[in-house]
Amino acid sequence: MAPDEHDPVLLRTEGRAAYITLNRPRAINALTHPMVRTIDAALAGWESDDAVAAVVISGAGERGLCAGGDIRAIHDDARVGGWASVGFWRDEYRLNARIARFPKPYVALMDGIVMGGGVGVSAHGSVRIVTERSRIAMPETGIGFVPDVGGTHLLARAPGELGTHLALTGEAVGAGDALLLGLADHFVPSARLAELAAAIASEDVTAAVRRYAEPAPAGRLAGARGWIDHCYAADTVEDIVDRLLACGESEAKETAETVLGRSPRSLKVTLESIRRARVLGELEPVLEQEFRVSCTTLSSPDLVEGIRAQVVDKDRRPRWSPQELSGVTRSEVERHFAPLEVPGLGFPR
């Protein structure tokens, strides 16, 4: 039976390829729990289907692949002290792991906005395509949350302290910087994505990508490595801010102001998450860590307040609790990494 055009995930096969289209264009294809389950079930089936040699994921509409998870649903759940988000995260993070270990080429067309959960369904793939329209970010500190979906794993592996910079600020990057950070592999102009996707139905992925790929436009982060690596190597968020303000670069001072506008609690937990992810190394242990952090953050007043300010009321004036970095104690940060009373993700060892 053909999928209904209103289905939030469209699945089809053509030739040697299978295609996933996220189909909520009015919400920039934000992920819901049923969408995650649909994608996971499809990948599970295609893993052992000899007729499928590659998978291509893209987003419907003109705005982007995926703007992230459905944070309004998370807001409503957190506001009433619910636990529905825990089930969503468990299935979402398991999907991220499945994508990372998928045994066939998994081609992610990272056109337009790719943020949060959108990074999770794309940047763990084996063939990641960016365009001149790509805007990629893990913006969670701005809503009182912490980078998840394996984002701390990806950012911890970026050159120098670039990943720490993006994790704390939530800054969005374009194609050139995504390639530098290791979030993408190839640049293809957006006007040629449809041709590339169609070609994968009949030819080898490597050959198809080679035919359509071009040099990416230059990014801006490489030229900022000096002050970024110096400032973000500090041990605490307070010291990072002090270094940003003192280093003499106007961009660094602007960055300090950006950081100070984020949730103090989220900033400290994010920095700890990135540092621990470097030690853990592999994706699945990092996802387990992120699951603990996410579940603990669900009860944080900053999560409800951050989503209210940025998405619900859109007044862009969150009232963080505590309001200052000094108000977030070391014990409060450590609490986010403690064992959970709910079952974990249960990856096989």
Residue 69 annotated as catalytic: yes
Query: Quick count: other Cβ atoms within 10 Å of Cβ 213?
Result: 16
Angle 319-325-330 (CA atoms, 0-180°, nearest 5)? 120
124 half-sphere exposure, CB direction, 13 A CA radius: 28
Q: Are 188 and 213 in contact (CB under 8 A)?
A: yes
Residue 251 annotated as catalytic: no
The catalytic position among 69, 118, 125, 174 is 69
Instruction: Tell me which residue of 94, 92, 155 sits closest to 123, measured CA to CA.
Output: 155
Residue 315 annotated as catalytic: no
The catalytic position among 77, 140, 288, 302 is 140
The catalytic position among 112, 116, 117, 150 is 117
Rounded to the nearest 10°, the torsion over CA 48, 86, 148, 126 is 10
- What's the rounded Cα separation, in Å, for the pair 271 and 293? 12
- What's the rounded Cα separation, in Å, for the pair 47 and 217? 35
How is residue 146 annotated by DSSP? -
Which burial class, exposed, middle or buried, applies to 298 when counting CB atoms under 10 A from its CB (0-12, 13-18, 19+)? Answer: buried
User: CA dist 144 to 10, 109, 261, 304, Å?
Assistant: 32, 28, 11, 8
Residue 148 annotated as catalytic: yes
Q: At what angle do helices 250-260 and 225-232 cross, to 10 degrees?
A: 40
SS3 content of the chain, % helix, strand, coil (to 5): 50, 10, 35
The catalytic position among 70, 148, 177, 302 is 148
Catalytic residues: 69, 117, 140, 148
